[in-house]
Amino acid sequence: METATTVPQSGADILVQCLVNHGVEVVFAYPGGASMPLHQALTRFQHRIRTVLPRHEQGGGFMAEGYARSTGKVGVCMATSGPGATNLVTCLADAKMDSVPIIAITGQVGTAVIGTDAFQETPIVEVCRPITKHHYLVQRTEDIPRVMKEAFYIASTGRPGPVIVDVPKDLQNKKIVPNYDPPMNLPGYRPYRAIAPQQLEGVLALLRQSKKPIIYAGGGIVLSGAAPWLRQFAEKTSIPVALTVHGLGGFPSEHYLSLNMLGMHGSVFANLAINEADLLLAFGVRFDDRVTGKVSEFAKHGKIVHIDIDPSEINKIKTATLPIVGDIGEALRALVAMIDRDPSLIPKASQFADWLHQIDDWRAKEPIRYVDRNDAIVPQYAIERLWSLVKSRGRLDETIITTGVGQHQMWAAQYWKFTTPRTWCTSGGLGAMGFGLPAALGAQVAHPFKTVIDIDGDGSFLMNLQELATAYCEKLPVKVLLLNNQHLGMVVQWEDRFYESNRAHTYLGAGFDHQPYPDFETIVRGFGCGARAVRRKDELDDALEEMLDTPGPFVLDVLVPYQEHVLPMIPGGMTVRDIIKA
Q: Are 183 and 124 in contact (CB under 8 A)?
A: no
| Residue 569 is among the residues annotated as catalytic for this protein | no
Q: Which of 40, 120, 232, 466 is catalytic?
A: 120
555 pairs with which residues across the strands?
480, 531
Report the sign of the C-alpha dihedral through residues 378, 384, 390, 393, in that order.
Answer: negative
How many C-beta atoms lie closer than 10 Å to residue 338's C-beta?
17
| 169 classed as catalytic | yes
Using DSSP bridges, classify how beta strands 279-283 and 213-217 pair: parallel, antiparallel or unpaired.
parallel
Q: Among residues 96, 169, 174, 537, which one is catalytic?
A: 169
Residue 242, helix vs strand vs coil: strand
Q: Which helix (H) or strand (E) segment is 306 a member of?
A: strand 303-308
Q: Establish whether 449 is a catalytic residue.
A: no
520 included as an active-site residue? no
CB distance 94 to 56 below 8 Å = no
Asked whether 304 and 274 are in contact (CB, 8 A), the reply is no
Residue 352 among the catalytic residues? no
Catalytic option among 2, 119, 300, 348: 119
Strand order in the sheet with 399-403: 424-425, 399-403, 451-457, 479-484, 554-559, 530-534
Of the candidates 17, 28, 57, 486, the residue annotated as catalytic is: 57
Residue of 490, 520, 527, 547 marked active site: 490
Q: Starting at the edge strand that comes first in sequence, how are the strands of the sheet with 134-137 ordered?
A: 50-52, 26-29, 75-79, 102-108, 163-168, 134-137
CA dihedral sign of residues 168, 174, 178, 180 = positive
- What secondary structure letter does DSSP report for 184? P
What type of residue sits at position 439? Answer: A
| 3-state DSSP assignment of residue 402 | strand
**What is the DSSP secondary structure assignment for residue 182, as one 8-state letter?**
P
Catalytic site positions: 57, 119-120, 169, 490
